[in-house]
């Protein structure tokens, strides 16, 4: 009971600090906007105008349809990247955790994925796919780039679950002849990896969304509908910073919603354990 009270207090404290931090960001944004406006620079709208514009693109009938369609397509691409990464991370991470030789074999490839600049990968992929039928193939570029960023995070999370198993637990499993059994995966390695996986979800969703948006903007109209395409359209022929920030704020809200859902899931799991 005492542990549960501490967990509830920690959650309430964390929520309050997030709200205070958000208000601080809005205040600093407002001050910076006023300072630039005083110097004759009108390129940064104040947060209140941006919030109003965000509400318009979300709920104004003539704009909401396109916005929600863009949200749907961007979320769908991110989901495909996330799902593909998770399946391969669970498979390869489990194999690498059980067989040290495979971990060594996979290491150069995972290191390459972590090191390659995303924008360079986007340009290279666009060049390789260019040609007849490019528009159809270009639709998959955001999914692939999202995978490049998300997979290493989730793969390392699975490995952390294996590395977190104590020597005593490994020795007990070895004596029972079940170090690499399904029972060991379900009862020892799986529960050990779950907290790291939840943390990797929170880390990879925001990063994956940024990369997906970047890919949609870079590829342009070839990728089809999406938040990135809506942001790109606000850069030409007239540079509309208010529109760019409004759609960017929509993306931030998506990340906050996903982070909140993961936090609730983690809190529920902690309650079950406590």
- pLDDT at residue 191, rounded to an integer: 77
Tell me how far the alpha carbon of residue 99 is from its chain's centroid. 29
d(CA 74, CA 146): 11
What's the CA dihedral at 222, 224, 227, 229 to 10 degrees? 40
Task: Note the pLDDT of residue 107.
Answer: 92
* pLDDT at res. 226: 87
CB proximity list for 82: less than 8 A, separation 6 or greater = 146, 150, 204, 205, 208
The pLDDT of residue 269 is 62
One DSSP character per residue, 109-170 reads HHHHHHHS-HHHHHHHHHHHH-STTHHHHHTTHHHHHHHHHHHHHHHHHHHHHHHTS-HHHH
pLDDT profile of the chain (274 residues), mean per 10: 57 76 89 86 84 91 90 93 94 90 92 79 65 65 88 91 75 65 71 82 84 82 80 78 90 83 70 52
**This prediction's pTM:** 0.81
**CA of residue 223 relative to chain centroid, distance:** 20
The structural domains of the chain, with segments of one domain joined by +, span: 1-44, 46-273
Other beta carbons less than 10 A from residue 109's beta carbon: 13
Q: Which two three-digit tokens encode residue 130?
A: 């260019």
What CA–CA distances, in Å, run from 3 to 7, 13, 128, 266, 270?
A: 6, 15, 55, 15, 10
Predicted pLDDT at 113: 84
Q: Does the domain formed by 46-273 have CATH 1.10.3720.10? A: yes
- Distance, in Å, from the CA atom of 117 to the CA atom of 111, rounded to the nearest integer, reads 12
């Amino acid at each position: 009971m005492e542990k549960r009270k501490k967990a509830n207090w920690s959650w309430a404290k964390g929520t309050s600090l997030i709200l205070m931090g958000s208000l601080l960001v809005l205040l600093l944004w407002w001050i910076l906007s006023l300072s630039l406006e005083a110097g004759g620079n009108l390129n940064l709208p104040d947060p209140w105008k941006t919030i109003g514009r965000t509400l318009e693109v979300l709920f104004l009938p003539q704009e909401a349809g396109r916005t929600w369609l863009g949200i749907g397509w961007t979320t769908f691409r991110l989901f495909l990247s996330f799902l593909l990464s998770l399946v391969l991370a669970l498979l390869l991470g489990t194999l690498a955790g059980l067989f040290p030789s495979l971990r060594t074999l996979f290491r150069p490839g995972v290191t390459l994925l972590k090191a390659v600049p995303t924008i360079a990968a986007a340009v290279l992929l666009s060049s390789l796919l260019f040609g007849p039928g490019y528009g159809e193939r270009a639709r998959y570029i955001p999914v692939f780039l999202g995978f490049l960023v998300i997979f290493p995070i989730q793969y390392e999370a699975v490995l952390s679950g294996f590395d977190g198993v104590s020597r005593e637990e490994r020795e007990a499993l070895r004596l029972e002849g079940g170090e690499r059994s399904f029972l060991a995966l379900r009862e020892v390695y799986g529960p050990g990896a779950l907290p790291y996986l939840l943390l990797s979800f929170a880390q990879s969703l925001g990063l994956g969304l940024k990369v997906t948006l970047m890919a949609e903007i870079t590829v342009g109209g070839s990728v089809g509908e999406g938040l990135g395409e809506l942001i790109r359209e606000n850069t030409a022929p007239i540079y509309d910073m208010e529109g760019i920030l409004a759609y960017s704020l929509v993306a931030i809200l998506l990340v906050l919603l996903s982070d909140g859902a993961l936090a609730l899931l983690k809190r529920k799991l902690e309650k079950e354990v406590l």
